[in-house]
Chains A and B, each alone.
Chain A
Amino acid sequence: MEFDFIPIILSLKVAFASVIIVTCSCIPIASLMAKHEFVGKDIIESLITLPLVLPPSVIGFMLLVFFGKNGPLGRLLEQWFQIRVVFTLVGAVIAAAVVSFPLMYQAVKAAVESIDRNLEQAARTLGAREYRVFFTITLPLAWNGIIAGLVLAFARSLGEFGATLMIAGNIPGKTQTMPLAIYFDNDAGDLRQASILVILMTVFSFLVIYGVNRWRRGLRRDSRGEEI
């Protein structure tokens, strides 16, 4: 039997789309949360981090409730934008975005919090408005954290299984991403296809973690060295 590349392509599509959504929503939210204290902040932060600890089936169930045909968001998307979520790749993207959001959020928030507040204050004394402070000081200095979060979110999106299965289903050629293909290939006895995908995913995930760790260590060395 010939090797089926389509799950790989679908997985990459889902992961790229999810990372774009997560990055665009995470950077403003995490920056605001890092800088402001308000009533109910702890509750919001707990809600944001929840997908990290909840079983994927719980997330999948909740997504079905919200994005299902009769769910509030599902109906809205279908009526206004003709977008169907259940049993489509859109559903897979939403599932991937929800589970990878907390990873990116934590990385960006930690990066923004670690910036010396005096640098932002100095920019203000030099006449900079808030948006200039954000784009010329905060964002460039948080860049390393943002990249690390982005890579982790990408890897997590690529590996999403449970919630994806519940909302997007397992439609070969349409919503069957790599993790789903591995499960169902194995179930059907196609061990060759399953093992190739397993090796690909393992190597890729290893490289991501190895790369991020190496890079972080290099950065720490950089920030210590070259001092006169």
Chain B
Amino acid sequence: MFKAHFKKKLLTFELEVDISLSQGILALVGPSGAGKTTILQCLAGLQTPSWGEINIHDKIVFSSERGKDVPIRNRHIGYLFQDYALFPHMTVEKNVVYGKPKKGSNPNKALTATNVLKMLKIEHLRNRYPKQISGGEKQRVALARALMTEPELLLLDEPLSALDQDTRSSLQQELLKLQAQWQIPFILVTHDVHEAEMLGDQIIKLDHGKQEVLKKLTIAQ
């Protein structure tokens, strides 16, 4: 379960967000400069909202009222950067295990690097360096690395925008599959309305800091 209601002052307008999500994928659409990435960064703790409260998995990670601001590393959020942000000096495998928790918090998942690499079909790349693999492969490595931390929420910043059409369609399918398999809420930022429609169980459109709900959660559970 995830709930956030906060405001953040930006240069030319104030961003106001009120979103909640228990399962599935929430897609945030809007033109560039609408504040999409800022929302993800506020959720992850990379930026601080000016007012509001953020709840992840029934834990308050940010509250302006109570003066609470949990540091990034303790928020248990997976974050996929737009440019993947893979560590260039580490192999694919080293990248993937960088955030592996010391002790698995959820023994049922029995998460090993090999499992995650297999699941994302990048096992054969484990000894390569990021500059030696393609864009689609980088995206899979970034996903593997984020999932390895056993996050309670996964944030994806324009995850497919830099990829060609074919890679894009296959990764879209894979994201849907992963979400179903992993059972954690995903929040996905995109400027492509079609992609939002295809992936989002909920769609929210942003324009100048104001949000408009395009599609509400309708999955029966």
Contacts and interface: CB of A to CB of B under 8 A. Distances in A.
A227 interface: yes
From A127, A141, A227, residue with most partner B Cβ within 10 Å = A127
Given A227-B131, A228-B133, A126 B88 contact: no
B149 A122 contact: no
A124 B73 contact: yes
Contacts of B98: 123, 126, 128, 136
Contacts of A128: 73, 98-99
Which bracket fits the contact residues of A? 20 to 34
Contacts of A121: 46, 72, 79, 81, 85
Contacts of A141: 88-89
Contacts of B89: 140-141
A124 B131 contact: no
B83 A118 contact: yes
Nearest to B135: A228
Which bracket fits the contact residues of B? 20 to 34
Q: Name the prevailing secondary structure of the B interface residues.
A: loop
A119 B74 CA distance: 18
A141 B90 CA distance: 10
Contacts of A124: 45-46, 71-73
Interface in B48-75: 71-75
A226 B81 contact: no
B104 interface: no
Contacts of B131: 223, 226-227
Contact of A126 (B71, B134, B149): B149
A228 B132 contact: yes
A126 B148 CA distance: 9
B92 interface: no
A127 B132 contact: no
B145 interface: yes
Contacts of B79: 121-122, 125
B101 interface: yes
A122 B99 CA distance: 10
Contact of A118 (B77, B85, B134): B85
11 contacts: A118-B81, A119-B88, A121-B81, A121-B85, A122-B81, A125-B72, A125-B73, A125-B78, A126-B98, A223-B131, A228-B133
Given A118-B81, A125-B72, A128-B73, 12 more contacts: A118-B83, A121-B81, A121-B85, A123-B87, A123-B98, A124-B72, A125-B78, A126-B146, A136-B98, A141-B88, A227-B131, A228-B134
